[in-house]
Amino acid sequence: MILFIRYNLRNLRTRRLTTILTGMGMAFVIFVFCSVQMISEGLRQTLVDTGSPDNVIVLRKGSQAEVVSVIERSKAAILETLPEIERAPDGSVLCARELVVLINLYKKDADKPSNVVIRGIGRNSLLLREGVRIVKGRMPLPGSSEIVVGSSISRRFKGLQLGDELRFGLRNWKVVGIMDAGSTGFSSEIWADIDTLMQAFRRPVYSSVVFRLRDRSDFLSVKERIERDPRLNLMAKREVDFYREQSEVMARFLRILGTSLAIVFSAGAIIGAMITMYAQVANRSQEIGTLRALGFRRREILMGFILESVLLSLGGGIVGLLLSSFLQFLEISTLNWQTFSEIAFRLRLSFGIVIKALLFSLLMGILGGLLPAVRAARLRIVDALRLV
Amino acid sequence: MQKGSIVEIRNLSKSYRRGSEIISVLKGINLTIGEGEFLAIMGPSGSGKSTLLNLIAGLDKPDEGSIIVAGIDITRLSENELARWRADHVGFIFQFYNLIPVLTAFENVELPLLLKGLSGPERYEHVMTALKIVNLTHRMNHYPKELSGGEQQRVAIARAVVTDPTIIVADEPTGDLDKTSAEDVLELMTRLNEEYGKTIIMVTHDPRAARRAKVIRHLDKGILDATAETPS
Amino acid sequence: MLLLKLLLRNAFRQRLRTVLTVLAITIAILAFGFLRTIIDAWYSGVEASSPARLVTRNAISLTTPLPLSYKDRIKRVRGVRTVSYGQWFGGIYISEKNFFPNFAVEPASYLELYPEYVIPEEQKKAFIKDRKACVVGRKVAEEFGWKIGDTIVLKGTIFPGEWEFVIRAIYRGLTPTTDETQVFFHWDYINEGLKRTFPLRADHVGFFLIGIDDPKRAAEIALEIDGLFKNSLAETLTETEKAFQMGFVAMTEAILITIKIVSIVLIIIILLIVSNTMAMNVRERLSEYATLKALGFHWIHLSLLIYGESIIITMTGAIFGIILTFPSAKIFVDAMGTLLPVFHITKETILLDILIALSVGISSGIAPSLKAINVPVQSALTRVG
């Protein structure tokens, strides 16, 4: 069998230009396929990582995003009395009332503004978000107009370094800290003291209440109790589910876009492979006849040509994969339609995407080589050898 | 089956369709070939000699008649069975050598052995033996385009004998060679026949080649001559 | 012309190969046209902008409201002809899947500022008169089978509750690029409801829409308006409608750039396939070109033959691709419904398709024609195959 693979590889090498052109076509297809999948995956991963499985987020019923949700003080107070909530080290309830608003900020290289999330936080907000660390400076003091900026925002937006000041709501907000939340959505947020924020925006209500359950399995009963209560008109979700759902529309759009593009591109690549393989069959008809004369059967000829086409497509696919792996150094930021705010994320090449890409290359090779291989197998020996 | 005969052909007929015409190429051929014979089939072009060779080698099926080689009626074999039969029983020598360009001389000779289920070391032995017979071990790692015409034909001969086939068929083996190379090749074929007892069936135009054969038959317009000619 | 005959026969000699190549080009041009039209759709808001309209919104963000009381002060600015206002409502009709833009607006002034929304006079009057009325776009009316007089219910997301509206008017767009999927109703109607349930949020608008008399003074007027409210609790940001719409486009720029890059890659792939085909074609016929040279033909003739063949192949594919774009677009639009308000294949897109086909045809011919021109005449005597 090794001889066969060697035979196919050498044939590919002989028609070098054609092989390279067809291979490049395959590589491009896989590159495009992977890129779009990686964007979708990167977005999804970021938002999934943003939640904690033990945390519960409560919003007004029917709210698709924190920005449109409204929770009155009285309702928040009722939520804080839930017995299932974990306690913080200092004895207080591990629960935070938060306010989410959007402000326009300008990226370093843009003259058009983006919507950035400002989250008014409570005493325990940082504790509730395990993945968030302060890497420079400190958290804002309660009651002050100080802010801590997510590392991604600080990096990409104007005037948000440590010590800079932001002006909105008729006051200046000083950046006293930079926080890093890894690849999660919190890196794209700015946090401020909630009471100060509420005053600045004249909003006497909260957007959401977040708390941690002592026991994860209490979630369903807690959810039911909150949602059944007619006074409250609230809904409860696991934090991970909530953030995951926020990427769904975009992720789905990207997946559909990626798949449609992949189909179109692969049609082109398969046709390219077919042209190449048909030419190979035509040029090697005497060889095919010789092999048949020597005793190789039609099926073996068929498999041989399909194998050759597959080697070509897999080769191109691997090149495409390698190229797209470099995209992992890229950070993309875009508006998330569902939250209407900015989210930044890294492209992610997951194991699933690698497998899909390889299978896709395999499929392209088989489809591209099939019809030419059938033609090769159906040649009559005497015609192929031109003995008549 | 006649005693000592390895090929028996009875009432063989074959015609081809060319466009809307049906051309009858062989008409009721009867032929017996003895074991260890060196037979040359000659005739003008279009006489059907290549067709006859193709049928004996199992490359094509006749319209009528039977061909029995070493006791097996190959006209009754299915296509797949015929393929394996060729691998076991026939060695080919073509006019244009028909070597696989991307394989080395060694690998070309090794090719038929892949169908025999031998191990790597076993195949190596057989190939070296065959290459020694044609005296080309020193060129075994070269590609066909690096070999002269004569050397290529000798590699093809090595390939033809490496499986120790029942019959060797040669279609214009010297057709593309210069005088010296042609002599070398014919000398080799004579040795195969006389020293190793191989049955050789050759189609040729070349009188030098015909002289090497022990029996000559003439084919004209699809009909075999009545008596055999033995060269002087 | 014998050469032309030779050219055409050559192009279709390897029939299967030519058919496959043309097929590949057809698919690629089709996809390219589609992608470009999607990009155009993205910018449709920008294209529909008028230089005589300004948008004023809260400087903090679009999600922060402005006091209605600003209206009078804005009206007094020199150069301002009409002031309207509105609020993005974001209501849901039955399910989230049925997305269409819906706004609460000041009816008379808003329609005055948007002559692109063409409404029969009686319908317009009926809409303005009835506070519970709404005017819907032709496309969204078709999508849901709405007729004048129907009552529709929207579930509020920003303004909670179930809100009923009566359809009194259906507008159609003045040009094919006007968005016909929007729904407008009375701001007063919403505001009245807010006064009862969330009094703090009442009397606030999401944006002011300002009609000016001299588009050339747009920047000046914008600055003046913003100056009025500087250092107040709700500072404003005023810009031309075009700049405002571009802001939205810029927010999803990353995706747009991705699509643009993909379009370019598509063209590269066609180039690879056609180059491959031409290279093969010429390589197989080298001795024929040598023969032509021996017979006395010039490099010009050989070039014409090869470039001509290459261009015929690409143009055939392009023509098929362009023709197929229209029915495919129709299927796509019907499937997307109101999600894609404008999907219009522009003349520029078609022109670009042709230009690409031409360029690819020429580029693919370069290397093979050079090879053919330089083939040694002696090759004519070599046996082919």
C-alpha–C-alpha distance, residues B29 and B47, integer Å: 12
Taking the Cβ of residue C64 and every Cβ of chain A, the question of whether any pair is shorter than 8 Å is answered with yes
Contact A112, C247 (CB under 8 A): yes
Helix/strand/coil percent split, chain A, to 5: 55, 20, 25
Contact B25, B51 (CB under 8 A): yes
pLDDT value, residue C384: 45
* Residue spans of alpha helices (H) in chain C: 2-11, 15-42, 44-47, 70-75, 107-113, 121-129, 138-144, 187-197, 218-228, 241-251, 253-284, 286-295, 299-336, 347-373
Question: Contacts of residue A117 in chain C, CB cutoff 8 Å?
Answer: none
How many of the other CB atoms lie within 10 Å of CB of A310?
A: 22
Question: Contacts of residue A291 in chain B, CB cutoff 8 Å?
Answer: 100, 111
Q: Pick from C245, C272, C314 the residue to mutate for testing the A interface (most A CBs within 10 Å).
A: C272
How many of the other CB atoms lie within 10 Å of CB of C231?
A: 7
- Strands of the sheet containing B21-34, edge to edge, are B21-34, B5-18, B64-69, B72-73
CB-based contact A275 C258, cutoff 8 Å? no
| Residue of chain A minimizing CA distance to B107 | A3
Closest CA to A184 of A229, A235, A243, A236: A243
Report the mean per-residue pLDDT for chain A.
88
* Residue spans of alpha helices (H) in B90-178: 105-110, 120-134, 149-161
pLDDT value, residue C67: 92
> At a CB cut-off of 8 Å and minimum separation 6, what does A357 contact?
A30, A33, A34, A317, A320, A321, A324
Q: Which residues pair with A174 in a beta bridge?
A: A146, A165
Angle between the N-to-C axes of helices A248-283 and C15-42, in degrees from 0 to 180, rounded to the nearest 10: 160
Interval C69-124: pLDDT, tens = 999 999 999 999 999 999 999 888 988 778 889 999 999 999 999 999 999 999 99
| Residue of chain A minimizing CA distance to C96 | A64
Here the tokens at position A196 are 């100060």
Taking the Cβ of residue C262 and every Cβ of chain A, the question of whether any pair is shorter than 8 Å is answered with yes
Among A22, A254, A275, the residue with its CB nearest the CB of C21 is: A275
**Is 60 exceeded by the pLDDT of residue A79?**
yes
| Residue of chain C minimizing CA distance to A331 | C254
Here the tokens at position C277 are 């085909």
CA C8 to chain CA centroid, nearest Å: 38
**Cβ pairs A/C, distance under 8 A:** 140
Report the mean per-residue pLDDT for chain C.
87
Angle between the N-to-C axes of helices C253-284 and C241-251, in degrees from 0 to 180, rounded to the nearest 10: 70
C-alpha–C-alpha distance, residues C140 and C338, integer Å: 6
Picking from A333-347, B86-100, C83-97, C348-362, which range would have the lowest pLDDT averaged per residue?
A333-347
Question: Contacts of residue A385 in chain B, CB cutoff 8 Å?
Answer: 59, 94, 98
Host H or E run for residue C146: none
Here the tokens at position C49 are 């902008």
A251 vs A52, higher pLDDT: A52
Pairing of strands A113-121, A189-193: parallel
User: Using 50, 70 and 90 to split pLDDT, how confident is the model at A249?
Assistant: confident
**Which whole number is the average pLDDT over C194-204?**
85
Taking the Cβ of residue C256 and every Cβ of chain A, the question of whether any pair is shorter than 8 Å is answered with no
Q: Which residues pair with A118 in a beta bridge?
A: A101, A190
Q: Classify the complex by whether its ipTM is higher than 0.85, answering yes or no.
A: yes
pLDDT value, residue B227: 66
What single-letter amino acid sits at A313?
S
**Which whole number is the average pLDDT over C186-210?**
89
CB-based contact B16 A296, cutoff 8 Å? no
Taking the Cβ of residue C237 and every Cβ of chain A, the question of whether any pair is shorter than 8 Å is answered with yes
C-alpha–C-alpha distance, residues C352 and C345, integer Å: 12
CB-based contact A7 B83, cutoff 8 Å? no
| Residue of chain C minimizing CA distance to A341 | C251
Angle at C301 between CA C298 and CA C306, to 5 degrees: 130
CA-based nearest distance A334→chain B, Å: 53
CB-based contact B57 A298, cutoff 8 Å? no
CB-based contact B111 A11, cutoff 8 Å? no
CA-based nearest distance A92→chain C, Å: 32
Contact A70, A205 (CB under 8 A): yes
User: Using 50, 70 and 90 to split pLDDT, how confident is the model at A108?
Assistant: confident
**Cβ pairs A/B, distance under 8 A:** 77
Burial class (CB in 10 A: 0-12, 13-18, 19+), B199: buried
C332 vs A96, higher pLDDT: A96
Chains in touch with A (≥3 Cβ pairs < 8 A): B, C
C-alpha–C-alpha distance, residues A161 and A145, integer Å: 16
Length of chain A: 388
CB-based contact B101 A287, cutoff 8 Å? yes
Instruction: Report CA-CA distances (Å) from C269 to A166, A266, B27, C321, C357.
Output: 48, 10, 56, 15, 12
CA-based nearest distance B232→chain A, Å: 30
Which DSSP string corresponds to A65-88?
SGGG--B-HHHHHHHTT-TTB-B-
CB-based contact B83 A286, cutoff 8 Å? no
Touching A: C residues 142-171, CB under 8 Å:
155, 157-158, 160
* Residue spans of alpha helices (H) in C43-156: 44-47, 70-75, 107-113, 121-129, 138-144
Percentage of chain A modeled with pLDDT above 90:
39
Collapsed DSSP state (helix, strand, coil) of residue C149: coil
A331 vs B202, higher pLDDT: B202
Question: Contacts of residue B79 in chain A, CB cutoff 8 Å?
Answer: 297-298
Among A13, A295, A388, the residue with its CB nearest the CB of B16 is: A388
Question: Contacts of residue A256 in chain C, CB cutoff 8 Å?
Answer: none
pLDDT value, residue A120: 93
Taking the Cβ of residue C203 and every Cβ of chain A, the question of whether any pair is shorter than 8 Å is answered with no
Longest dimension (CA), chain A: 98
User: Using 50, 70 and 90 to split pLDDT, how confident is the model at A289?
Assistant: very high
pLDDT value, residue B1: 47
Touching A: C residues 323-382, CB under 8 Å:
none
Chains in touch with C (≥3 Cβ pairs < 8 A): A
Here the tokens at position C137 are 């776009």
- C67 φ, ψ to 5°? -70, 140
C254 vs A367, higher pLDDT: A367
Return the exposure string of B11-45: e unless at least 16 CB atoms fall within 10 Å of the residue's CB, then b.
Answer: ebebbeeeeeeeeebbbebebebbeebbbbbbbee
Taking the Cβ of residue B57 and every Cβ of chain A, the question of whether any pair is shorter than 8 Å is answered with yes
Here the tokens at position B98 are 């028909």
| Residue of chain A minimizing CA distance to C253 | A334
Taking the Cβ of residue C268 and every Cβ of chain A, the question of whether any pair is shorter than 8 Å is answered with yes
C-alpha–C-alpha distance, residues B138 and B125, integer Å: 15
pLDDT value, residue A382: 87
CA-based nearest distance A167→chain C, Å: 9
Here the tokens at position B23 are 């051309």
What single-letter amino acid sits at A36?
V
CA C330 to chain CA centroid, nearest Å: 15
Interval C267-287: pLDDT, tens = 888 888 888 888 888 888 888
CB-based contact C258 A39, cutoff 8 Å? yes
Interval A171-192: pLDDT, tens = 899 999 999 988 788 888 999 9
C-alpha–C-alpha distance, residues B54 and B34, integer Å: 18
**Which whole number is the average pLDDT over A267-284?**
88
Q: Pick from B104, B111, B123, B164 the residue to mutate for testing the A interface (most A CBs within 10 Å).
A: B111
pLDDT value, residue A1: 59
Collect all residues from A whose CB is shorter than 8 A from any CB in B.
3, 6-7, 10-11, 13-14, 286-287, 289-298, 380-382, 385, 387-388
CB-based contact A295 B87, cutoff 8 Å? yes
Interval B88-127: pLDDT, tens = 999 999 999 999 998 999 999 999 998 888 888 999 999 9
Report the mean per-residue pLDDT for chain B.
90
CB-based contact A168 C60, cutoff 8 Å? yes
Angle between the N-to-C axes of helices B149-161 and B179-194, in degrees from 0 to 180, rounded to the nearest 10: 20
Question: Contacts of residue B101 in chain A, CB cutoff 8 Å?
Answer: 14, 287
Chains B and A touch (3+ CB pairs under 8 A): yes
pTM for this prediction: 0.80
Here the tokens at position A355 are 């497998």
pLDDT value, residue C137: 93
Among B85, B98, B171, the residue with its CB nearest the CB of A286 is: B98
Q: How many CA atoms lie within 13 A of C80 on its CB side?
A: 26
- A188 φ, ψ to 5°? -100, 15
